[in-house]
Amino acid sequence: MKLRVFDNEELVARALGERIASAVRQRPNIVLGLPTGRTPIATYAELRRLHLEQGLSFARASTFNLDEFVGLHGRHPGSFRFFMQRHLFDTVDLAPERIHFLDGMAADLDVECERYERDIAALGGIDLQVLGIGSNGHIGFNEPAEELVANTHHVELHEGTRRDNAAQFGGDPARVPREALSMGMGTILRAGALILVATGERKARCIERTVRGPVTTRLPASFLQMHRAVEVYLDRPAASLLAVE
């Protein structure tokens, strides 16, 4: 894993924005995998800035988001689709038909997960997958467990994860859906390159275990060690348990 440590969150967003921008410039029809969550918000703002100020164009790029809640429409303010519209899709020139999302309202959720895998494969796979990490080491909604599911699948969310997502639901964890759809660790590991981003001291322990620890389903992020092109973007607090400069 290639570690990149920055003094603060703002510098992480700057560097990661530039990293994504350079991949898009190099390959305008790139297939990007994208996360939601608090961590990438500043990076998405940076992409918007590069689009407005430097003419960075996403017109030929395609995107696949990692996950979505079950039972929420894309226009629900708590949905990940809504989040992405607000923080990225409405602010840059992505073509709506090249934005791919899991539909948490699909009549048959298993069929919907298979459809997503097929759509990813049809575009030749994800070139660059950006990932956040939960403080329990989850990636996408692949929660720590005895076993992990490789492909896109239907998941039951852990209580802690529902608490972490309460902000979009008026701060009330009880209003956070109990289920979600998520790319599997296999889907993620099939991407050409992976970038994991984490900021803040709350992530320090899971980052240390992700980078240095054994590969275990009890820490889904540890599976990233098995991919040959992983970059990890951290601020100092998130890197505080790693002995790196």
DSSP of the chain:
-EEEEESSHHHHHHHHHHHHHHHHHH-TT-EEEE--SSTTHHHHHHHHHHHHHH----TT-EEEESEEETT--TTSTTSHHHHHIIIIITTS---GGGEE---TT-SSHHHHHHHHHHHHHHTTS-SEEEE---TT--BTTB-S-SS--SSSEEEEPPHHHHHHTGGGGTT-GGGS-SEEEE--HHHHHTSSEEEEEE-SGGGHHHHHHHHHS--BTTBGGGGGGGSSSEEEEEETTTTTTS---
Check residue 35 for interaction with ligand F6R (CB under 6 A). Answer: yes
Check residue 184 for interaction with ligand F6R (CB under 6 A). Answer: no
Neighbours of 79 (CB within 10 A): 22
Check residue 36 for interaction with ligand F6R (CB under 6 A). Answer: yes
Among the options 65, 68, 127, 138, which is catalytic? 138
Considering only residues 44 through 73, tell me which ones interact with ligand F6R, judged by CB under 6 A.
Answer: 66-67
Check residue 181 for interaction with ligand F6R (CB under 6 A). Answer: no
With respect to ligand F6R, which residue has the nearer C-beta, 61 or 155? 155
Check residue 153 for interaction with ligand F6R (CB under 6 A). Answer: no
With respect to ligand F6R, which residue has the nearer C-beta, 160 or 213? 160
Region of 32-40, 119-127, 144-152, 233-241 interacting with ligand F6R (CB under 6 A): 32-40
Check residue 78 for interaction with ligand F6R (CB under 6 A). Answer: no
In the complex, least distance from residue 139 CB atom to ligand F6R, rounded to whole angstroms: 6
In the complex, least distance from residue 48 CB atom to ligand F6R, rounded to whole angstroms: 18
Check residue 213 for interaction with ligand F6R (CB under 6 A). Answer: no
Among the options 76, 103, 136, 231, which is catalytic? 136
Check residue 86 for interaction with ligand F6R (CB under 6 A). Answer: no
For residues 236 and 201, the answer to whether their CB atoms sit within 8 Å is no
Among the options 9, 68, 112, 143, which is catalytic? 143
Catalytic-residue membership of 136: yes
How far is CA 37 from each of CA 19, 22, 57, 84, 213, rounded to the nearest angstrom? Answer: 19, 23, 23, 10, 24
Region of 5-13, 29-37, 71-79, 152-160 interacting with ligand F6R (CB under 6 A): 29-37
Catalytic-residue membership of 158: no
With respect to ligand F6R, which residue has the nearer C-beta, 62 or 142? 142
Q: What residues line the site for ligand F6R (CB under 6 A)?
A: 35-39, 66-67, 80, 132-134, 138-140
